[in-house]
Amino acid sequence: MELIFWWMIPAAFLVAGGTYWVVRKRDRIDGSVRRPVAHSHRLTELPEYRAAVRRHRRWLTVAAVAGGVLMAAAVVAAARPAERSTVSPEQRNRDIILCLDASGSMSSADAAVVEVFARLAQGFDGERLGLTVFDSSAVQVFPLTDDYDFVQEQLAEAKEAFDGAPGSAGFLDGTWNGAGSSLIGDGLASCVEGFPAAEDGAPGDSGGTVERSRSVILATDNFVSGDPIFTLEEAAVLAKEKDVRVYALNPGEFDYGIDPDQPGAQLRMAAEGTDGAYYALDSPEAVQDIIRKVQSTEATAFKAAPQAALADRAEIPLGIALVSGLVLAGASWRLRS
Amino acid sequence: MSSLLTRVKSKMSIFAHRKARGMLDGEYGSVFKGRSLDFDDLRAYIPGDEVRDIDWKASARHGSPLIKRYVAVRRQTVLLITDTGRNMAASALGGEEKKDIGVMALGVVGYLAQRHGDVVGLVCGDATGSRSLPAKAGEAHLERILRTVDGGTGLTSPRSSIGEQLSYVARNYGQRMLLFVVADELVPDAGMERLLRRLRAQHEVLWLTVQDAQLAGADSATQPADRYDVADSRLLPGRLAESEAVIRAYTAAQEQRDAAREAVLRRLGIAHVHAGSSHDVMPAVFTLLERHRRGK
C-alpha cells in the first residue's frame, strides 16, 4: 500500500492550518457582534442549562469527529492509495492463422483443429485469428480478425464442411485450381503471406508500435502430389523471414525409418526451423491437448517483461468518508434544530 | 461630545413634563433638606412638597398654597458610589450598556443635590481598587464626575466588585453623608450584609440596581442570540437558552434572587429600586425618594 500523491497530505495540513488561522482571526473580529453580559452564572449554574450544554457539546463532539474523519478520509483518498504489484502479463497480441490442408485424408484432424479453435476463440481477447484452407490452391476463408462472432460462425461452417455435412461442400470451393493436389509449400506460403507486412520492414523488431507474435497452425500430412511453386523448405524460409512460427500437426505420420527425406521428417524440419514445433497426431482427440500446448508455448515465449502494476485502492477511505459524511449531516441537523 | 449633564437635564425635563413640573425637585427638597426651627421665608407650593410644610394661614391669605421655608440645617454631602468595572460595560435588561443607566441615575441625583446647594462627591472603581472625587458644588464638578464614570468603564476594565467601593467608603469617610449607590444585580452574602449594616449605621443609603440583561426567555427574543460573559469571555450560545425548561428554571431563579436582594436591603433599612433602561431612571429615582421618605 502506498500513496501516489503523497504530497497531498502535507498540502492538506498546510491548507488546514491556514484555514484555522484565518477562521481564528475572523472569529476574533466577529466577537464584537456578540453581546457582552455580566453575571453569566445566573444562567450557567442552572442544571437545566448545564444539561443542554452537555447535550450540545456531545453533538458538537460527534460533528467535529465526523468532520475530522471525513476530511482525513477525503485527503487520504485524494492522495490515491494504491497497491503496487508486479505482474507478467500474458501477451494478448497474437496473430494465429489456421492453415488447414483440405485434402480428404485430413478432414477429421481439420475438424478437430477447427472445433478446438472455435472453443478457444470464446476466451480470446486481443488475439486475431485467420483461416486459410488449401489443397492444390489456397483460399483465405477469412483474414486475421478479432471479430470473434464472425470467427465462431466461420469456424462452425468449416467444421461442418470438414465433417462432410450435406450442403456444405461449397466451403472448400476454389482449393482445386492448381496443378496437382496437396501443394503444402504453396499452402504454407499463402498462409505466411496472410500476415500483414511488418511496419518498419524489420519483422519482430520491437521498434514497431505494437509487436504481435505470429504463428501458423499447419495441419497437413505433407503428402505432396503435384508440382508446387514453393517447396516446403522455401515456404519455411519465407516464414522465418517474416518471423512466423509454424506449428505443424501431422495426423498421419507414415515415415519409414529416420531418413530425412521422409515427409514427416521434412515437416518437422520445416516447423522447427521457424522456432515452431512438430506434433505427430495419433487421433483427432489429441488435437485439443496439442493446441493447448502450443498456446502455452506461445504464451511463455511471448511473456512480456514483468511490469509494476498500480491499482488504486480508494474504496476504503471513500467508504469511511461516506459514513462520516452521513454522521456529520445528522449531527449538524441535530445541532441546528 | 455633548455634555453628559445636558443629557441628564433633558431627560429630567421630559420627565417633569410628563409628571408635574418640579415634582422631583420638591421631592428631593422635602426628603433631604429637613426642617430647622429657623423660619426663612415662604415660597409657592410645588408638587412633591410635604403637605405638612404648607403654611395654611398664609395660603388662605394668599389664595394659593405656600410652603414655609426654613434655613437648612446644614449642607448635605451626597456621595455617589458606583462600579466602573467591566460588568457595567455589559448589557442591561433594556439592551443599553449598564453604565449609561448608571450615569443617568448618578446625574439625576447629583443634579437634584446640586440644585439644592448640596455638595456631591464620587467613589468609583473596580475589584482592583477605588478612586474618589472630593465633594464639591457646581455643575462643572458634576459633569466631571459623570465623565469619570463614563470614561472609566469599558469592556477592558478590570473585574467588578461593588464591595470594594463600599469598604473604601467605610474606611475613608468619617462624616455622615447621603450615599447613593448604583450597582448591578447584587448577590448579597454575609460579608456584604455586615458591610452594609456598618455603612447604614453611619450614613443614609439609597440603592439603585441596574438590571442585567436577561439570559433566557421572551425578552431576549429580539436580541442577538449569542452572548459572552465579560468576566471570563465565556460564550453563552443563545440557542441553548431557548428551551422551555431552561427558561422556566431561569425565571424562577431570577425571581428568587430579586426577592433575596430585596429582603436583605429592606432588613437593613436601605431604600432600594431597580432600573432596566435609562427611561426607567426618572420614575425609579422618584420612587426611591418616596421610599426613603416613608422609611424615615
- How many beta-carbon pairs below 8 A join chains A and B? 98
**Residues B66 and B99 grouped into a single domain:** no
| Contact map slice: B 17-46 vs A, CB within 8 A | none
**Residues B63 and B88 grouped into a single domain:** no
Structural domain contains residue B27:
no
**Residues B213 and B231 grouped into a single domain:** yes
Structural domain contains residue B265:
yes
Of A34, A39, A56, the CB nearest to B228: A34
Mean pLDDT confidence for B211-215: 87
**Residues B52 and B112 grouped into a single domain:** no
Residue B254 and residue A31: Cβ atoms within 8 Å?
no
Distance CA A79, CA A85 (A): 18
Distance CA B161, CA B231 (A): 11
Residue A36 and residue B249: Cβ atoms within 8 Å?
no
pLDDT for B296 equals: 54
Taking contacts as CB-CB distances below 8 angstroms, the residues of chain B near A44 are: 234, 236
pLDDT tens-digit map of A255-289: 666 666 777 888 888 888 888 788 877 776 777 77
Is a pLDDT exceeding 60 seen at residue A205? no
pLDDT for A206 equals: 44
The chain B residue lying nearest A54, using CA atoms, is: B240
Distance CA B281, CA B15 (A): 10
* Domain final position from B71, B94, B116: B71
In chain A, the domains with their CATH numbers are 2-28+40-86+309-336 (no CATH), 94-304 (3.40.50.410)
pLDDT for B105 equals: 92
**Residues B159 and B217 grouped into a single domain:** yes
Q: Which amino acid is at B72?
A: A
Angle between helices B244-267 and A47-78 (to 10 degrees): 140
Q: Where are the alpha helices (H) located in chain B, listed in sequence order?
A: 4-18, 23-32, 56-62, 98-115, 139-152, 162-172, 190-202, 244-267, 281-295
A214: three-class secondary structure by DSSP: strand
Structural domain contains residue B12:
no
Is a pLDDT exceeding 60 seen at residue B224? no
Residue B145 Cα distances to A188, A223, B103, B108, angstroms: 122, 133, 9, 12
Q: Which three three-digit cell numbers place residue A232?
A: 516446403
Distance CA A238, CA A126 (A): 26
Structural domain contains residue B86:
yes
Structural domain contains residue B84:
yes
Q: Which three three-digit cell numbers place residue B171?
A: 474606611
Distance CA A38, CA A40 (A): 6
Chain B interface includes A28 (CB < 8 A): no
Q: Report the share of chain B in percent with pLDDT over 90.
A: 28
Residue B213 and residue A56: Cβ atoms within 8 Å?
no
Asked if B33 and B133 count as a contact pair (C-beta separation under 8 A), the reply is: no
Distance CA B250, CA A106 (A): 105
**Residues B39 and B86 grouped into a single domain:** no
Chain B interface includes A37 (CB < 8 A): yes
Structural domain contains residue B3:
no
Q: Is B97 exposed, middle or buried (0-12, 13-18, 19+ CB in 10 A)?
A: buried
Structural domain contains residue B258:
yes
* Domain final position from B49, B71, B93: B71
**Residues B56 and B162 grouped into a single domain:** no
pLDDT for A203 equals: 46
Min Cα distance A321 → chain B (Å) is: 29
Distance CA B236, CA B254 (A): 17
Q: Which three three-digit cell numbers place residue B180?
A: 447613593
Q: Which of A239-248, A272-281, B175-184, B208-217 has the lowest mean pLDDT?
A: A272-281
Number of domains making up chain B? 2
**Residues B283 and B185 grouped into a single domain:** yes
- Give the CATH number for residue B151: 3.40.50
Is a pLDDT exceeding 90 seen at residue B67? no
**Residues B50 and B103 grouped into a single domain:** no
Q: Which amino acid is at A102?
A: A
pLDDT for A145 equals: 86
Q: Which domain holds residue B246?
A: 77-295
**Residues B50 and B99 grouped into a single domain:** no
pLDDT tens-digit map of A114-162: 887 777 777 777 778 888 888 888 888 888 888 888 888 888 888 888 8
Structural domain contains residue B10:
no
**Residues B99 and B162 grouped into a single domain:** yes
**Residues B58 and B113 grouped into a single domain:** no
Distance CA A62, CA A17 (A): 21
